[in-house]
Chain A
Amino acid sequence: DVKVTQSSRYLVKRTGEKVFLECVQDMDHENMFWYRQDPGLGLRLIYFSYDVKMKEKGDIPEGYSVSREKKERFSLILESASTNQTSMYLCASSTTGPVQETQYFGPGTRLLVL
């Protein structure tokens, strides 16, 4: 079974803090994704990566950066957290090839920025 884990289920931070969200997958997947999920807006793509050290902006990259130093690990960084970044953050991974669109998700990190 594919397993995607995220470093924290719940996180509370103060405005202006630097926040690291970590995601690890154990299936040797090439593709990894970070989304945020807000009520009524669905999942919105923040950043994604198709390979180590590669990153591409998604639909809402402002205020975020990412790091992928190892294939299995994809980190999301909030350089200076703001209250409008309070959200549920979901990480996902997928393989390349014929079923590359089937993404497997982690349990999510619910971030509250005060």
Chain B
Amino acid sequence: EDKVVQSPLSLVVHEGDTVTLNCSYEVTNFRSLLWYKQEKKAPTFLFMLTSSGIEKKSGRLSSILDKKELFSILNITATQTGDSAIYLCAGHNYNQGGKLIFGQGTELSVKP
């Protein structure tokens, strides 16, 4: 059975800290891994990763995939209170159309 596991489940940091969120996966016919950010509304798409070792970057957020060790990390540098959210990781099984397998989410709280 396909599975995605995120850690930690929750995290409290102070503004300016750097955080690393982890996502491990066991997905047959793996095609891609996706990260979403969810504030108190719709999850919004951050990154889609398909190749190992290639960092994707957007401002202070970056992510990388390791297809050998079956994990991905999401880094946030110089955190701000606006980064407080649930971060969702999802794996895609190529043989299952558009379905995604989601992890439990990491709830990040950034204190001033």
Contacts and interface: CB of A to CB of B under 8 A. Distances in A.
Given A96-B98, A108-B41, 11 more contacts: A35-B102, A42-B88, A42-B102, A48-B99, A90-B43, A101-B31, A101-B32, A101-B98, A103-B98, A103-B100, A107-B41
A34 interface: no
Contacts of A75: none
Interface of B: 6, 9, 31-32, 34, 36, 41-45, 48, 88, 90, 92, 97-100, 102-105
**Across the A-B interface, the 5 shortest Cβ-Cβ residue pairs:** A101-B92, A105-B42, A43-B102, A100-B98, A42-B104
B interface majority secondary structure = strand
A94 to B, nearest CB: 5
A62 B88 CA distance: 24
A48 B98 CA distance: 9
A63 B47 CA distance: 33
Contacts of A45: 99
Interface residues of A, number: 26
A58 B98 CA distance: 12
A3 B42 CA distance: 11
B88 A101 contact: no
Contacts of A107: 41-42
Nearest to B48: A102
Nearest to B105: A42
19 contacts: A4-B42, A40-B9, A41-B104, A43-B88, A44-B102, A50-B98, A90-B43, A96-B98, A100-B98, A101-B92, A101-B100, A102-B34, A103-B45, A104-B42, A104-B45, A105-B42, A106-B42, A107-B42, A108-B41
